[in-house]
Amino acid sequence: MLEGFSFSKIQTTMNPQLHETIQQFAASNISDERKAQLQPLIDFIQQKKNSAQAVRLNFICTHNSRRSHLSQIWAQAMAFHFGIKAVFCYSGGTEATAMFGKVHQTLAAQGFEVIQLSESANPVFAIKYAPNENAVICFSKVYHHDFNPRSDYAAIMTCDHADEGCPVVLGAAARFPVRYHDPKQYDNTPLMDAKYAERSLEIGQEMWFVFSQIR
């Protein structure tokens, strides 16, 4: 052992502001109907955990610009929060565009650390939920991009268009419709900041609930 080193000094907690954000989440805020819609995803994760298999979740929407990124990041953070190991979260679209700027701004305001790694038309971001954990790498891509898993993953459809327009998801072991309203409709309006924050917290709370059910 290195002299002066103590495992108790290793930072294993989440970012403090993010931890505060999570404290407002509660199962009572989610309707019974919505919980029923989330149950098949919970069952998939539980089955993988029970059989000691990696849990690969690929969140998919049309442009991979808003809801799928929010879902990917919150899911990875909530897996860590509840100590669920071997969970790997991804996102993709039926086409690639770019992560919308208000998405990473909203996440930063809610306690995630956002590091921009490139300034291209499709920038790459590293999103950290805890100081000593690997960052979630985010950029817009099609769901079957080489960065994402090619097989044995759950395809989680976060928007109507992708769910209805993509009847076959290549390589997916299962697919689950977990749809969210698009905050894009509030772009460039006085409600923009509030609606992006609302959608992010809705997604965060539901991912919190999903992983809270894993035993």
pLDDT of the chain, 215 residues: tens digit per residue: 334 433 333 346 899 999 999 999 999 999 999 999 999 999 999 999 999 999 999 999 999 999 999 999 999 999 999 999 999 999 999 999 999 999 999 999 999 999 999 999 999 999 999 999 999 999 999 999 999 999 999 999 998 766 555 656 889 999 999 999 999 999 999 999 999 999 999 999 999 999 999 99
- Is residue 157 one of the residues assigned to a domain? yes
- Is residue 46 one of the residues assigned to a domain? no
* Boundaries of domain holding 91: 52-212
Residues 79, 211 contacting (CB under 8 angstroms): yes
- Is residue 43 one of the residues assigned to a domain? no
| Cα dist from 74 to 8, 33, 167, 176, 212, whole Å | 27, 21, 25, 17, 13
From first CA to last CA, the distance across the chain in angstroms is 34
- Is residue 20 one of the residues assigned to a domain? no
The count of structural domains within the chain is 1
* CATH code, 138: 3.40.50.2300
User: Phi and psi (nearest 5°) for 137?
Assistant: -90, 125
- Is residue 37 one of the residues assigned to a domain? no
